[in-house]
Structure 1
Amino acid sequence: MAEVINRYASIDLFMPEDSHRVIREHVGANQPFSRQVDAWWIAFCLGIRDNQTRPLPDRRTKFMDGTILSSDPWRIIHLELIALGLRGEEILTHPRDVVQLATEHANYGLELLVDALTGQNEPTLAMMNFLDPTTA
């Protein structure tokens, strides 16, 4: 298999400060997410699913840089395929624009995740139910 090049390694990944506070509480052992990037990725997918975006607010938190994408190279491929489908071939020559596109979709999805997690006694179960299409 060919090596996947991470053109996003030097680009910071952000989420809204308010969302980050909630997501950070739900990352780790016995939590819905193993890593913050996992929550961000699910949020990105929710934004894509619903074709919704939210701009990154001024009050933001850097939770990682793009090097994290190298730990799961399929994310890079997925990210680029979505960017290609939404914006065309030109966007792939501008890695910061690809990350901005992902971030804006993730910001929408983060709103949904935060709503699903807030005030839950069993956040992992709440997240599983929220993401299960048969319960919608």
Structure 2
Amino acid sequence: MDNPFAGLDIAILDDFREKIDAYVQRREGQRASPLNQPFNRNVDIWFFAIMLAVQNGLKPTEVKGKTYKAAEGVVIGSDSWRPTALTLLAIAESEDPNIVDRAGDMMRIANSYANAGFPLLFSMLDSRGDDTALDYLCDEVEKFVR
């Protein structure tokens, strides 16, 4: 599948920027530790937030307020399965198979699911105790697949 999101942006509420920066590895000058910064790129934490929202039955929350461009949509295609997963999510949410022709609407849905999932993700990470962020998230994901 081609990446219909290539010309669009991943928009995240500016309120989440500091938390995201704490859990996404930095490549310039800082020594990132996957144990404490388990996400390699902004798109990875964004997609994880979407997964959490869907897995927990959260309703998509429209992104309102000041946002920032966390990544260009072209990065979604760096993993070939992501465009397909987001397209299927958009069809399920909209109940309209023709949404595949409206990439902007599909991205709005994806951003809305991420917006719903970020508070849960940050709450989980804030309550992880002495576990590293990576260990804690691995344990949580394991619960989903049992």
Q: Which amino acid aligns with 1:76?
A: P
Partner of 2:30: none
Residue 114 of structure 2 aligns to a residue in which SS? helix
Q: Which runs of 5+ in 1 are unaligned?
A: none
Task: State whether structure 2 residue 71 is matched by structure 1 residue 64.
Answer: yes
Partner of 2:139: 129
Identity of aligned residues (%): 25
- Give the Cα–Cα distance (whole angstroms) in 1 for the partners of residues 77 and 142 of structure 2: 28
Partner of 1:37: 43
- Please report how far the alpha carbon of residue 78 of structure 1 lies from its aligned counterpart in structure 2 after TM superposition: 0.8
The number of residues matched between the two structures is: 131
- Please report how far the alpha carbon of residue 119 of structure 1 lies from its aligned counterpart in structure 2 after TM superposition: 6.7
Deviations 1:20-40 (A, max 9, x none): 210121112422211111111
Q: Which runs of 5+ in 2 are unaligned?
A: 26-32
- Please report how far the alpha carbon of residue 89 of structure 1 lies from its aligned counterpart in structure 2 after TM superposition: 1.0
> Counting helix residues as a fraction of each chain, which structure ranks higher?
1
One of 83, 86, 94 as aligned partner of 1:79: 86
Q: Against the structure 1 CA distance between its residues 132 and 18, is the aligned structure 2 distance closer, same or farther, given a 3 Å change threshold? A: farther
Cα RMSD for the two superposed structures:
1.8
TM superposition score normalised by structure 1? 0.85
Deviations 1:42-91 (A, max 9, x none): 11112222142211121212100101012111000111112122222121
TM superposition score normalised by structure 2? 0.80
Task: State whether structure 2 residue 22 is matched by structure 1 residue 25.
Answer: yes
